[in-house]
Amino acid sequence: MKKILVTGAMGQIGSELVSTLREHYGTSNVIGSDLWQKDEEEGPFEIVDVTDEKAIYDAAKKHNVDTIMHLAALLSAKAEAVPQIAWDLNMGGLMNALEVARELELQFFTPSSIGAFGPATPKKNTPQETVMRPTTMYGVNKVAGELLCDYYFYRYGVDTRGVRYPGLISYVTPPGGGTTDYAVEIYYEAVKSKKYTSYIAAETYMDMMYMPDALNSIIKLLEADPDKLVHRNAYNISAISAAPEDFAKAIRKHIPEFELTYNVDPVRQKIAESWPDNLDSSAAEQEWGFKAEYDIDRMTAEMLPKLRTK
Ligand code: NAD
Ligand code: AKB
């Protein structure tokens, strides 16, 4: 049975990943950690600042974990506002977590992003291996992070694994300051007021994925046969390539009067335009059986009723 320490566990992914991992591996085998904690936390939890390597080490040692899932980071839009702080958190935190994995001989997972690509990358069916020259601090951190994880595997034998996540869509915890956040907000606003003003322009396509597919992919990759993993850090995975009007179309099947208007934010629009429309996930399919279950209509049919009962 695995024993896992999750950093950044209160975030959009972590809040759902911890409960999914607890269902899978048992509550006491999954230790959540973050800068803060909910009062009603069920299961082991530690306050850990990932910029403090000793704090990560102490939590990992105390609970005798065999795996670190490192999620703590600043996302693309927030990172662009404070790039120097983003470097310290995204690179410093990753390096600290990798060092603990090396010292304690732990398995290691951390997500990269579609943000690792840049304007020179082929936009459609973006290959697993291609030009990676991102123009955001977040993207620079993600490319450097992928390389650092590869380095820890080749140099020290740390079992590092990762995926390049698309924008994730979920109804449990709101997103933390990314460029793709509009694709979550549009559902919240559709339920609340039947209208949404998008900060991303029409016909701007980005890869998106529903959270259950994102969580299943982590567990599948974590449990995959190491001998089959050629592209460890990090795998392209893809599910839904969509622009704002595609979400509106899917929402109108349930809320016909839904209105979409635009008030484009130039900062996030520029980031979005530098990212791919959709990734080629064939390496993940071949090497560890990645498969997305949700398209935009199936996701929408689940998101709207879940948000109505929130
Ligand atoms: P989030 O912003 O929702 O959550 C990040 C969490 O990290 C927060 O709970 C925050 O309190 C915590 N944190 C911040 N500074 C910390 C510190 N110094 N020490 C410990 N914890 C700290 O982010 P998320 O969406 O859950 O993303 C998790 C990871 O997945 C990140 O690496 C992100 O780049 C990656 N990712 C996310 C998406 C997405 O759409 N959500 C897509 C691609 C990649
Ligand atoms: C962001 O928009 O920053 C994230 C991501 C795709 O990495 N959702």
- Taking only the tens place, the pLDDT of each residue in 243-255 is 999 999 999 999 9
Ligand closest to CA 211: 1
**What are the tokens at 35?**
């800068």
| Backbone φ, ψ for residue 4 (5° rounding) | -125, 135
Which of 13, 47, 271 gets mutated to test ligand 1 (max ligand atoms within 8 A of its CB)?
13
* Predicted TM-score (pTM) of this structure: 0.97
Collect the ranges in the chain with pLDDT lower than 70. Answer: none
Is 171 among the catalytic positions?
A: no
Q: Tell me if 73 CB under 6 Å of ligand 1.
A: yes
- The CA 129 to ligand 1 mean position distance, Å, reads 25
Looking at residue 281, its pLDDT comes to: 98
Instruction: With H, G, I as helix, E, B as strand and everything else as coil, classify residue 291.
Output: coil
The interface predicted TM-score of the complex, written ipTM, equals 0.99
Q: Tell me if 180 CB under 6 Å of ligand 2.
A: yes
Q: Tell me if 12 CB under 6 Å of ligand 2.
A: no
- Taking only the tens place, the pLDDT of each residue in 94-103 is 999 999 999 9
- As to burial, measured by CB atoms within 10 angstroms (0-12 exposed, 13-18 middle, 19+ buried), residue 265 is middle
- The CA 12 to ligand 2 mean position distance, Å, reads 11
Looking at residue 39, its pLDDT comes to: 76
* Among 25, 138, 196, 235, the one annotated catalytic: 138
Looking at residue 42, its pLDDT comes to: 85
Domains, the chain, with CATH or none: 4-167+210-236 (3.40.50.720), 168-208+240-277+294-309 (3.90.25)
Ligand closest to CA 271: 2
Looking at residue 136, its pLDDT comes to: 97
Q: Which of 149, 154, 278 is nearest to 221 (CA)?
A: 149
Looking at residue 310, its pLDDT comes to: 83
DSSP 131: -
